[in-house]
Amino acid sequence: MLGILLIAKPQGLTSHDVVAIVRRRLKTKRVGHAGTLDPQATGLLVVAVGAATRFLQYLPLEPKKYTAEFTFGVATTTFDGEGVVTKEGPVPEDLPARVLAELPKFQGLIEQLPPMYSAVKKDGKPLYHYARQGEEVERQTRRVHIETFAPLGYDGPIGRFEVVCSGGTYVRTLANDLGEAIGCGAYLSALVRDAVGRFRLEDAIALDDVAEDRLMPLSEALPPMPLVQLALRETHEIRNGQSLISGDRFTAKHVALVDPAGAVFGIASVVEGNVLQPECVIPK
């Protein structure tokens, strides 16, 4: 059993909770996910089952697309509604105009400081370990790319935004930093992940619907990575770690290798355009 599941994660569950449920329903231990969603967030979670977990790194998982709700006038320790209030301030009457004036600072390549309440590790321990003990430790900024950060509408102090960004972006931090820039504070009050790369929330299934026949094969999940059909002899050579010289030339860095039965069994890196060097292979 192997393949990809697109799961619509409900509110209140961690990404690990989702993995545990999938393991129980499919009666298999080998399950992993791509891109953590906070418990209060909902939306698309990409889950791999069986040997497909080895292929997560090759899936087209960027950019991420979110619909986010920010509540202005309040800041919290966690940058979301779960934390302790650290600041309250009057919301400007011209909030939409003030937001538009500040948004350019948060678009394109930016440096983002991970929140203390996050799983980013410092000296082998997640930052939230220190935060729960009341400690604030030095953190390294990370470079992220914000492709789209656009307001969708306002209801009093609450603004809704479309965010399209690279992996590793904390939308909670965008909310907090935008609130700081405006001066009144803000926190992330709701978040829905609408898309991960070319995978869409509308194609996801509920946890109650998880079943083996809902698994997406790797041949469907990996494109736009090229699929290369191999003969039986070539399949055997690849599984033995040998490189192949292809009659085709590729501009892609990787190609998916397909066995004579039509199933993806490996990934090869492309050397000099036509040499296929096995990088990740499912044993026979």
Q: What is the mean pLDDT of the chain?
A: 93
* pLDDT tens per residue across span 171-184: 999 999 999 999 99
* pLDDT tens per residue across span 177-214: 999 999 999 999 999 999 999 999 999 999 999 999 99
Residue 38 annotated as catalytic = yes
Residue 120 scores a pLDDT above 70: no
For residue 113, the model assigns a pLDDT of 84
Residue 123 scores a pLDDT above 90: no
Which of 17, 38, 94, 194 is catalytic? The answer is 38
Phi, psi of 274 (to 5 degrees): -140, 0
* pLDDT tens per residue across span 128-150: 666 676 666 667 888 999 999 99
Cis-peptide, bond into residue 224, ω within 30° of zero: yes
Q: What is the pTM of this model?
A: 0.91
* pLDDT tens per residue across span 150-165: 999 999 999 999 999 9
* pLDDT tens per residue across span 46-74: 999 999 999 999 999 999 999 999 999 99
Domains of the chain: 3-57+205-220 (3.30.70), 64-196 (3.30.2350.10), 225-281 (2.30.130.10)
